[in-house]
A and B are shown apart, each in its own frame.
Chain A
Amino acid sequence: MARWAHADTLDGSLNVIKTNCNKLAVVAAYSAGDSYATVTGGSNILAEVTMASGDFTLGTSGSDRTLTTASGKQDASANNSGTSNTFVFLDTTNSKVLGATVESSAQSVTAGNPVNFPQIVLTSKQWSAPA
């Protein structure tokens, strides 16, 4: 017996982001499941960059599938000051938070200053036995 998923299966969720994410932002606060209004409201968005399908690259890592964001993305002028907490992948057309992942440096970003976004690798894991 074995567990296995085709790359197309693993790519499904990654392709949702690749196809629909048109903004990548770093926010000061995020809790799992936060609404679009909460994530984008007030001064929560510290910096943001526009994304398109071509800014995402699907790949393979062992038995897993990955989605990597483009390098060199910069917001020349940060929207707000605050401590960086979470990257959020947004679909502004349909007002959805497609995904969120940790920003680990927790930097004190200053409004008006340049903010460089790193390459972010999202992984869709090969099926395995439940932990």
Chain B
Amino acid sequence: MPFALYSDGLITVSAILWDGTEDVSAEVIYQIPGVSVHANTIGDQIVKELRFGSFLTIAEGEWLVISVAEASISAMRMTDAAFNQSFTLVP
């Protein structure tokens, strides 16, 4: 599972957008930290993929979990199945 620490506070985030046709395009949408993103769409376009510099790639349908601590921000990619997983313990 990819994991990125944004300790320098300046990681370019780009999105691969899809307009419903065959066309896809990339767009730089913001820089970490301090900005949240609605990862399903940007404007009217569906996000097919989010790329956080060279560290972290989130595909369509996956979850981006951002944790904010006092001195750092961390981000983690989770598949939909992992995000919704429940755990059954065993004695």
* A associates with B: yes
**Cβ–Cβ contact A117 & B86, under 8 A:** no
- Tell me how far the C-beta of A75 lies from the nearest C-beta in chain B, rounded to whole angstroms: 9
Mark interface residues in B73-91 (1 if CB within 8 Å of A CB, else 0). Answer: 0000010001111111111
Mostly helix, strand, loop or mixed at chain B's interface? loop
Closest to B82 in A: A110
**Cβ–Cβ contact B87 & A107, under 8 A:** yes
**Cβ–Cβ contact B89 & A117, under 8 A:** yes
> How many A-B residue contacts, CB cutoff 8 Å?
47
| Extra A-B contacts (19), CB below 8 Å, given A105-B89, A105-B90, A107-B87 | A87-B91, A101-B91, A102-B91, A103-B90, A103-B91, A104-B90, A109-B87, A110-B78, A110-B87, A113-B83, A113-B85, A114-B86, A115-B87, A116-B86, A116-B87, A116-B89, A118-B88, A118-B89, A120-B91
B-side contacts of A105, CB under 8 Å: 88-90
Name, among A105, A109, A110, the residue most crowded by chain B CB atoms within 10 Å (CB to CB).
A110
- Tell me how far the C-beta of A6 lies from the nearest C-beta in chain B, rounded to whole angstroms: 27
A-side contacts of B83, CB under 8 Å: 113
A104 to B90, CA, bound (A): 6
In this assembly, does A26 line the interface, its C-beta being within 8 Å of a C-beta of chain B? Answer: yes
**Cβ–Cβ contact B87 & A104, under 8 A:** no
* 5 residue pairs from A and B, CB less than 8 Å apart: A107-B87, A110-B78, A115-B88, A115-B89, A121-B91
A119 to B91, CA, bound (A): 8
A121 to B91, CA, bound (A): 8
A118 to B82, CA, bound (A): 21
In this assembly, does A21 line the interface, its C-beta being within 8 Å of a C-beta of chain B? Answer: no
- Tell me how far the C-beta of B5 lies from the nearest C-beta in chain A, rounded to whole angstroms: 16
Closest to B88 in A: A116
A-side contacts of B86, CB under 8 Å: 113-116
- Tell me how far the C-beta of B25 lies from the nearest C-beta in chain A, rounded to whole angstroms: 34
- Tell me how far the C-beta of B79 lies from the nearest C-beta in chain A, rounded to whole angstroms: 12
| Top 4 A-B residue pairs of the complex, sorted by shortest distance between their CB atoms | A114-B86, A105-B90, A116-B88, A120-B91
